[in-house]
Structure 1
């Protein structure tokens, strides 16, 4: 009479694989993603952090850059997580591994990494004196709202990379796909680049669109001054027309009469975007979209891995 083999339940398997992932974090150099996130955040803050949440243009560029940081971090966290041990997953699945437990362990582990990266990013921003949102929208603390947005962007990108890792043949294939996916995420962010009208629906398929919109709304984008016209006029102040310098005279008149701020705000009024209104509903809607996309990526990952036994690779 054959002895019945008792297999571990889903919860036990999740704990076992979670422990394995944290051991890999310590002993297989997976911890390197944390200092890398600090370096990337520092470079971005140095390059574009000066005008973040101070002007419309600075906020647009800074929010886009922050979204880039999050997507980059999320992609690098898990792009090789599954494909590097595909043979092991296939063998253990045949021996009783529950794919849902395996993926759930990755979800918990990656969420921990994402939280750590968000904390590091916020710390770097504060250390480099970057202006952050000063008024809350959802929680009582603006820094918490800001952190949740960064986390959801990072985590959604992380789950997308996990999905790519689940069907990529090798780690080389996964790393080859990643730059293409990064370009798609950045190009179709929906706010930073002027896309043709027919391309706008594609922005709803990207993580960056919802993250960028939420970051702009949290910074009260529509109440900020717009400085592009003023800066362009300053560049032309020495232009002569029939021996005179009309731009210089106009700029002097504006400054002498303390009209500069009013002019910047009037310029901003013509460029307000209702999608970036300082409204908690806008932020919550974008958070929900990021959560839905993250869950969708997870479901597809589970479906792909449930059929790993059919993979002849």
Structure 2
């Protein structure tokens, strides 16, 4: 199966699980408006790269897709919630996401805030369910892993640093080290978490878990730096969102220049692939994912 087919297959599996989970919330009493906004946010397409990483890393270590899809859907819920809040006027103020109106444009701001909140809490409901893993200790480890990746020392903290640089000018001239820390938190933490989650589901030893975590960390950095370059060089129609939005933001381009950003992106791809040196051809889909992240046009 080609990489693109594997990515599309995992996206379908996860979308089906997300649709079922939101449907269960609606059947259980969630207001129709809230459920509709959650569907708009979570079922509107996208690459579904993070759940793909969960499924591939778990599969690499012998976990069947069916046994990993619940955790994959939970991590995608966290990602979707972050996009809903990121698009709000108080943050990045975006009108388009994946070629469609953002949730606060399709509905309104208060509905968007609540839909994001509901997606985040749904993630932990999914992780805590017996369908995620038969062992409650494993479920607890996954809950803690995702909470750390999504929280103040992870994605939310990275967003705080990003907005402080853009809106408050703090620090006045972000260094490359500051930008890389920001991006490791904002984007890398959840990518790393997705890869580690696969290892946790498999009960993998520390060496394999560290290798997959290192891969996810490098992949996350590459993803964000590719995004920064696409904001300058990409086409809005292909990306499904506005370009040119990063002016004034703390990016590798603003800190080090365009040529250095391109060189760093190529290095990150090599580092991600190198982290998989202990795995054989069964990890080729992960190696291809690194190339996909670097060379994508959206």
Q: Which range, TM-score by smaller chain?
A: 0.3 to 0.5
TM-score of the two chains, using structure 2 as the length reference: 0.32
Relative contact order higher in (CA < 8 Å, ≥ 6 apart): 1
- Which of the pair has more CA radius of gyration? 1
Give TM-score scaled by structure 1 length: 0.31
